[in-house]
Amino acid sequence: MAGRRRWTTDEILDAAAELLRTSDAESFSVRRLAATLGTDSSSLYRHFRSKTELLRAVADRVLLAAMDDFRPQGDWKQRITGLALRLREAFGQQPQLASVWGRYASSGAGSRLVMEEVLQALRASGLPEAEIPGRYHRIAILIAALISSEAGVSTVASDEFEQGMELFRVAVLGADPERFPALAHFARDVRPLGVDRRAAFEDILAAQLAHIEGAVGPVAPAPERNRPTGTGSR
């Protein structure tokens, strides 16, 4: 009798990514993945020691694909912004995997490429070396949180999304001005979380980068070369 097919690591990750397109990290399980592949869980554990390790590897493939032909452009702030928008686009095409990345992070080659680019950009900013790791950590948390949050909204069904928007409008426009005076005052201008998220993403990131720029301070001008003061003829 022929034995069961042996799946490669890449094939397992392909199947896991496809399964996560229609589910989430909570309902995902190695047993369910094994059933999809027509094998048993023990065969998958030869490739990955745990569900968490498998999920990290799936998320890392998105990072790796996003960084495949990435070429940094502009100054250090433009480099970080360009990278963040590229990751946003990559996970926007696979929103279910964004929550996986935000929760489980990643430790593969894709993650290292992202870390390298951010750290290189921060070094170019003029920050003292001792401050760069802490600044990197805050930027990484911010980008992951923004991308995960946006992905969560994008996976909501359209009818459910519209229902949420209507409930928001009713709750805000109908706010009691005595109990919620500020909310009643700004009610017609306050926007739901699901609206214009791209602009919010860029504004929040820009504010963080401006904060770093302020910590760096003005760059000292290069000293002028000494010029001869004599008036002798040439």
> What is the domain-level CATH number for residue 168?
1.10.357.10
Number of residues that make up the chain:
234
Q: Is 27 part of any domain?
A: no
> Please, which pLDDT band fits residue 27 given cuts at 50, 70 and 90?
confident
What percentage of the chain carries pLDDT values higher than 90? 51
CB atoms within 10 A of CB 76: 21
For all residues of the chain together, what is the average pLDDT? 85
Q: What is the CA radius of gyration of the chain?
A: 25
Q: Is 152 part of any domain?
A: yes
Going by the DSSP 8-state scheme, the letter that residue 45 receives in this structure is: T
The pLDDT value recorded for residue 219 is: 53
Q: How far apart are CA 134 and CA 219, in angstroms?
A: 21
The pLDDT value recorded for residue 178 is: 94
> Please, which pLDDT band fits residue 229 given cuts at 50, 70 and 90?
very low
Q: Is 179 part of any domain?
A: yes
Q: Is 53 part of any domain?
A: no
What percentage of the chain carries pLDDT values higher than 70? 86
* Cβ partners under 8 Å of residue 136, min gap 6: 115, 118, 119, 122
CA 196 to each of CA 111, 167, 202: distance values in angstroms, whole numbers, following the listed order: 28, 18, 11
Q: Is 24 part of any domain?
A: no
Q: Is 92 part of any domain?
A: yes
Q: How far apart are CA 215 and CA 217, in angstroms?
A: 6
- For residues 6 and 122, which has the higher predicted lDDT (pLDDT)? 122
Distance between start and end Cα atoms, the chain? 99
pLDDT digits (tens, 9 = 90+) for 35-77: 999 998 999 999 999 988 998 999 999 999 999 989 999 999 9
Q: How far apart are CA 127 and CA 121, in angstroms?
A: 10
pLDDT digits (tens, 9 = 90+) for 166-209: 888 888 888 899 999 999 999 888 887 767 777 888 999 999 99
CB atoms within 10 A of CB 91: 26
Which of 163-167's residues contact partners 24+ apart within 8 Å by CB, and which partners? 164/192, 164/194, 165/192, 165/194
Domain span holding position 95: 71-215
Q: Is 38 part of any domain?
A: no
Q: Which helix H or strand E contains 171, and what residues bound it?
A: helix 158-173
Q: Which of 104-113, 115-124, 150-159 has the highest mean pLDDT?
A: 115-124
Q: Do 148 and 98 form a contact (C-beta atoms < 8 A)? A: yes
Number of domains comprising the chain: 1
What's phi and psi for 75, nearest 5 deg? -80, -175
